[in-house]
Structure 1
Amino acid sequence: MKKTLLIVFIHGFKGGDDTFGDKEGFTAQLRADLAALLPKINVNVLVYPKYETRGDLGDCVSRFRDWLLEKVIDLEVANNTPSPTVDPSVRVVLAGHSMGGIVAAETVIGLTSEKPIYSEDGVEKAADSSTATFNSLMFPYIQGVIAFDTPYLGISPGVVAHGAEGHYNTANAAMTQLSGLGTALWGAKQATSSPSRNRAPVAALPAPPANSSQQGGGWGWGKIAMVAGSAAAVAASAGAAYYNREHITQGLTWATSHLEFVGCLAKGAELQKRVQYMVKLNRELDVGFANLYTRLGKAAGSKEVSVVGTVLGRDRTFCNLPKRDNGGTWKQAVNDVATEETQAHMNMFEPKMNPGYDRLKEDAATLIAQWTRNEWYESSEEDKLAIKEAGESATA
């Protein structure tokens, strides 16, 4: 029986089946590279179908686990494995992009827990990870978790800081124009006669003056018409908001549900605990754990930005990085054409948008191959040799 390594890709927040490229893209190329590196076993690839990234994290993990169990059982049945739960012929590497990496980590933690309890933060964990005990007879058997730009320790403050700085001038100009639009539409007299202490903040539309003020002045209907289109857009937005308030309420419910899914990124203690669990799993059960994180390269600005008195470093990443070497394997994936962290994050698997695509694929294949070259892998040849010897003795 030739054993099988199954690579399962999990997309992140609002991702889909095309997150990792088309059928001939990253997933197929990585499979081919791994097949060359691991010739003793079969290498299969599955992409988790597009799922609703809403509700709490525990629900998402539970649904994924059920789906994975079904797929692995199908493979074990096809392989006629005598005791799949004790000596499986199939092992799995979970490959998650962004939030998909958190779903992957939580899945492993749940599979190795005696009685997993799923909550809004995933699998409930001991307050002290050092006291956690793991079940080595997990099924499906997870050989490793390889994450692609997963914010295991939260999203870097630089993602907001650099973006805010870049868009500030544009936003400020737009607000100033909007303020001027209000003054032009309602009459210049009010703007000049209002005391400075009562001046409305930038972008606040002043209330319309009395009818006599509107009728006087040098503004004619032609000039009013010139700005009416822009002002009407503002008024129309307000009107639409009122008349579609039921749809907006539904939208808020939709947004809140999605925020439940990504809300775990704001819980620092849970983030730290999840990483500590994965590090312990790596140490005690030899479950691989790595995060290939994006870093901006040559195209990004080199200036430093400060946030609340803290000067951010020049290395611009989407993810917060561990401060010490106790967070598993973290390896940078540099993108020399992306100018923003989110661009690098979303274009990891697009060769035209990521010059480091081939290096990313190579690093992923190398890590997975290292995790897989073990006693389970080597034993895959034993059955083939036995069959060959039996055939030779039969013809002798």
Structure 2
Amino acid sequence: MRRTLLLCFIHGFKGGADTFGARSQFSQDLRRRIAQALPNIDVRVAVYPTYETRGDLAACVARFTEWLLEQVIDMEVAARTPSPTVDPSVHCVLIGHSMGGIVAADALLTLAGDRRVGGDEGTLADELNALMFPYVQGVLGFDTPYLGIAPGVVAHGAEGQYAAATAALAQISGFTDALWGSKGKGGEGSSSGGGGGAAKKSVAALPAAPERTTATTATSTPVSTSSGWGWGKIAMVAGAGAIASGAAMAAATAAYQRREQLTEGWTWATSHLEFVNCLARGEVLRARMARMTEAGRQLNVGFGNLYTQLGKAAAAEAQKRNAAMMKDSSTAGGGGGQGSPLRALLPAGERTFCNLPSGQTPAGVWRPAVNDGATDETWAHMSMFDPAQNPNYNTLLRDAGDMIVQWTEGSAWYAGSHVTSVAH
């Protein structure tokens, strides 16, 4: 009997049909690559439909496993498999992006008989079910935060917002400076009367009027300027103030209109954390990794995670931002070169969306998926399956294919696949 490897794709939080590229291009590209490497079997794709992510994680896992069971039963019936639970013709690889990878891991553990999955404490059952149905050959995560979201996602997002705000304020400041003029040679100067310091500075910043007692033109009336003030100057001050206020209001309006664009990455990351509270519970995350590792040991199930890592574009953007902030700081008289006050809080090392495992945490196989086109972690995370946004798309495709082929080609299940001749 010719056997089938079913690649089941599970989108993540707020994902949908296009998570794996327009018309699920990545899933089809991966299927073709694996089919070429594993000629003994058929390779098919099933993309899990959009599901409601506001419910409990356990409920999401239950709905997915029910859907998977229906898919596999239909395929086994069509193949007329004599004993699908003992010798299935269909093996599955669960492939999840972001939170979809956690759904995939918990689905495997549920099928394998881990009744404690999702709990705060406890260990695996002594023996896992080697005859699980549907049978899962491996679990592959794409940028799945199995150990939580990296602090740099929030820290760099905050720094980016600070940089945007600093640039906007610098533009407004530069515009108003052009209106008011620079300080005169006489310093801040003074004016008669009991006006406040701010008023004195504003008046002193205006260009000095010619020293004359009257100004007469064909279109003007005499104006007294003996005290340094006059209706003409008052009008100029009022007009400039109105223009400056209008400029500030226009800048504020523009910033408000762009609020969704400016805060998209920040809001996405924080809402991700807010919804999936399990990502903030380190003991649950570590327990899941230990259980997946044990499942691999007992059942020979593959487990891996291809995590995004920023590359060339992010490095260039960081240099550009630092140079701009140093210039703004110097121009504003802030000591020069200080940059963002958040700089000291930014984590060192490679910029990733996921927390990476340490030597003490069993976590399967983790490989970096570098994106040389993305400038922040969130964008790399959301665009990893888009060839137009990810210059390293083919590398991602190759690494994913190699991992799944390695899990499959050495198995007795694969070796036993063949085309049954039809008796005449």
TM-score range, shorter chain: 0.7 to 0.9
SS at match of 1:366: helix
Amino acid at match of 1:152: Y
Amino acid at match of 1:313: A
| 2:178 aligned residue | none
| 2:183 aligned residue | none
Q: CA deviation at 1:339?
A: 1.4
CA distance in 2 between counterparts of 1:226 and 1:157 reads: 40
Q: CA deviation at 1:135?
A: 1.5
Amino acid at match of 1:86: V
| 2:164 aligned residue | 170
Q: Root-mean-square deviation (CA), in Å?
A: 3.6
- Mapping for residues 35-46 of structure 1, pairs under 5 Å: 35-46=35-46
Contact kept? 2:155, 2:346, Cα under 8 Å: no
Amino acid at match of 1:315: E
* Shift in CA distance, 285/157, structure 1 to aligned 2, threshold 3 Å: same
CA distance in 2 between counterparts of 1:279 and 1:77 reads: 32
Q: CA deviation at 1:351?
A: 1.2
Corresponding residue to 1:155 among 149, 154, 173? 149
SS at match of 2:23: coil
CA distance in 2 between counterparts of 1:311 and 1:352 reads: 29
- Mapping for residues 120-131 of structure 1, pairs under 5 Å: 123-125=117-119, 127-129=121-123
SS at match of 1:92: strand
* Shift in CA distance, 103/178, structure 1 to aligned 2, threshold 3 Å: farther
Q: CA deviation at 1:158?
A: 1.1
Q: CA deviation at 1:299?
A: 1.9
CA distance in 1 between counterparts of 2:101 and 2:287 reads: 15
Amino acid at match of 2:378: T
| 1:369 aligned residue | 405
Corresponding residue to 1:315 among 340, 350, 366? 350
Corresponding residue to 1:295 among 306, 309, 312? 309
CA distance in 2 between counterparts of 1:164 and 1:292 reads: 26
| 1:275 aligned residue | 289
| 1:243 aligned residue | none
1:344 is the counterpart of 2:358: no
Contact kept? 1:54, 1:257, Cα under 8 Å: no
- C-alpha deviations, 1:321-345, integer Å up to 9, x for none? 0011721100111111211111211
CA distance in 2 between counterparts of 1:311 and 1:162 reads: 7
Larger radius of gyration: 2
Contact kept? 1:299, 1:338, Cα under 8 Å: yes
Q: CA deviation at 1:234?
A: 8.9
* Shift in CA distance, 306/12, structure 1 to aligned 2, threshold 3 Å: farther
Structure 1, gaps ≥5 residues long: 117-122, 180-188, 194-215, 236-255
| 1:378 aligned residue | 415
Q: CA deviation at 1:270?
A: 0.6
CA distance in 2 between counterparts of 1:43 and 1:191 reads: 78
| 1:8 aligned residue | 8
CA distance in 1 between counterparts of 2:197 and 2:380 reads: 46
Contact kept? 2:91, 2:137, Cα under 8 Å: yes
Corresponding residue to 2:129 among 119, 128, 135? 135
| 1:285 aligned residue | 299
CA distance in 2 between counterparts of 1:191 and 1:99 reads: 57
SS at match of 1:9: strand
Contact kept? 2:352, 2:377, Cα under 8 Å: yes
How many residue pairs end up in the alignment? Answer: 335
Amino acid at match of 1:167: Q
Q: CA deviation at 1:23?
A: 3.5
SS at match of 1:91: strand
| 2:52 aligned residue | 52
SS at match of 2:31: helix
Contact kept? 2:172, 2:251, Cα under 8 Å: no
CA distance in 2 between counterparts of 1:8 and 1:54 reads: 22
* Shift in CA distance, 341/217, structure 1 to aligned 2, threshold 3 Å: same
CA distance in 2 between counterparts of 1:371 and 1:77 reads: 25
Contact kept? 2:273, 2:279, Cα under 8 Å: no
Amino acid at match of 1:18: D
- C-alpha deviations, 1:181-224, integer Å up to 9, x for none? xxxxxxxx99969xxxxxxxxxxxxxxxxxxxxxx999869966
Contact kept? 2:310, 2:351, Cα under 8 Å: yes
Amino acid at match of 1:57: L
CA distance in 2 between counterparts of 1:4 and 1:33 reads: 15
CA distance in 2 between counterparts of 1:317 and 1:340 reads: 9
CA distance in 1 between counterparts of 2:88 and 2:137 reads: 12
CA distance in 2 between counterparts of 1:379 and 1:343 reads: 43
CA distance in 2 between counterparts of 1:229 and 1:347 reads: 37
* Shift in CA distance, 275/313, structure 1 to aligned 2, threshold 3 Å: same
SS at match of 2:276: helix
- Mapping for residues 1-396 of structure 1, pairs under 5 Å: 1-23=1-23, 25-113=25-113, 115=115, 123-125=117-119, 127-129=121-123, 132-172=126-166, 227=245, 261-301=275-315, 312-324=347-359, 326-373=362-409, 374-381=411-418, 384=419, 387=421
Q: Percent identity?
A: 52
CA distance in 2 between counterparts of 1:73 and 1:133 reads: 25
Contact kept? 2:120, 2:283, Cα under 8 Å: no
**TM-score, with structure 2 as normaliser:** 0.69
CA distance in 2 between counterparts of 1:124 and 1:78 reads: 35
* Shift in CA distance, 175/88, structure 1 to aligned 2, threshold 3 Å: same
* Shift in CA distance, 144/307, structure 1 to aligned 2, threshold 3 Å: farther
Q: CA deviation at 1:175?
A: 7.4
SS at match of 1:6: strand
Contact kept? 1:7, 1:94, Cα under 8 Å: yes
| 2:223 aligned residue | none
Amino acid at match of 2:141: A
CA distance in 2 between counterparts of 1:167 and 1:234 reads: 15
SS at match of 2:312: coil
Q: CA deviation at 1:126?
A: 7.5
SS at match of 1:380: coil
Structure 2, gaps ≥5 residues long: 174-194, 200-233, 254-269, 323-339
